[in-house]
Amino acid sequence: MSTNEAVRNYLQRAFSMNPVWQAANLIDLRSRAVRSQRLDAQQADVDLERVARLRQRARKQISQIQTEFWKQPLDQLLKQVDSVGVDQLPELLPTLNRLRNAARCRADFPKMAQAPWMDMQLFNAFKEAVVLPPSEAGQVKERFLSRIRSRAKLKRIQKAAAMMATEFPVLYAMEQDWFTTLKKTKLRQSSDEYSGSTFESSFDWAELSWPTWIVIMIVIRALLRLLAQSGQ
């Protein structure tokens, strides 16, 4: 507030506000005018706008890194990841850390692909999932899981996942949840003929299982034989 013009502008703006509704804006305006830092770190106009701009820029950069992750030269990619400023954006920190980890381990991906135990479908799905935003990564993982048809294939994938845990622990940790799912996945024969009524508790002779029927038959046969013998 050094010049008369600045003072006039400040006063004009201050008196144009209604303190009943705009007290927060008025106090913000004063804090800028008298250059006094707010102690409550509440929603000061300038800060919020700056943070919003930072957030928008950071999200754009992250999105670009996700798209071009496998195309960029490694040194350029690392530079790009480090250039994203998220100091005031803690909500973007996990995403950025994940990308940074993946970028630092990018040299491991070709080694992983060439490993004799690696399943290429698993490798491709992992390569996509590790970089994509979670919702898209979820679709990739689901698609991959639905394509596992044989037990042999599943076993190979589980073995590959186990090897990844020992050979590439940092990369494994990035998708640990998914690898745990893979480890626990079982393949079963589908049962189209299943009627699905055994969950009900009401007793029905028609619902009796085959072992029960066998026992009943044995009992009846035994009874008949005993009857026949006692008749003689």
Partner 1 sequence: MSQTTNWQYLPADPLKFFGLSAGFERRELKRAYGQLIRQFKPETHPAEFQRIRAAYEMLESQNRYGVQQAQATQQISLWDLGSAQNLTVTDKPPVARKDVAVETVSDVDSAILDPKATYQRLSSRQEHSPQDYFILATLADIVDRENKNMYLKWLLTGLKQFPNDPGLLRLVAEFLSAFVDCKLAPTTLVTLSKLIAGEDFFRVTERVWLRCLAELPFEKFESTLQTCEKFLRYRQIRPRLAFYVRLVQQAVWSAPAEWVDQRIAFVESHGSEIDASLEEDVELAIMLRDYVRHDRQAKSQSPVLESIDEMLHAYCTQAWLESAARISSTCELMARNSHAVMDAFAAEPSERAARILTLCSIVLADVSQQTGLDFQPTAPEQLQLLADRTVRDFEETIRSVSSKIDWMRYRFFGLPLACLILGPLLPAYGWQYFAIFTVAWTGLALLIFLAVLKPFVLEKRADQKTRQLVAREYQREWRPRLFRYIQSCHQPSNAALQQLYESGHQIGFSNLVDVILSYASGDLALHFFSRLQPFQR
Residues 153-172 as x/- pattern, contact with partner 1 by CB under 8 A:
--------------------
Residue 60 found at the interface with partner 1 (CB under 8 A): no
Number of H-type helices and E-type strands within the chain:
12, 0
Minimum Å distance from CB 111 to partner 1?
A: 25
Residue 52 found at the interface with partner 1 (CB under 8 A): yes
Query: Which of 64, 70, 134, 170 is close enough to bind partner 1 by CB under 8 A?
Result: 134
Residue 173 found at the interface with partner 1 (CB under 8 A): no
Q: Alpha helix (H) ranges present in the chain?
A: 4-15, 19-33, 45-68, 74-82, 93-104, 108-114, 120-129, 134-146, 151-167, 169-174, 176-184, 210-231
Chain center to CA of 60:
20
Instruction: Determine the residue type at 29.
Output: L
Q: Please say which residue, 55 or 156, places its beta carbon nearer to partner 1.
A: 55
Minimum Å distance from CB 161 to partner 1?
A: 13
* Cα(89)–Cα(58) distance, integer angstroms: 9
- Interaction with partner 1 in 194-223: which residues (CB under 8 A)? 194, 196-201, 203, 208-212, 215-216, 218-219, 222-223
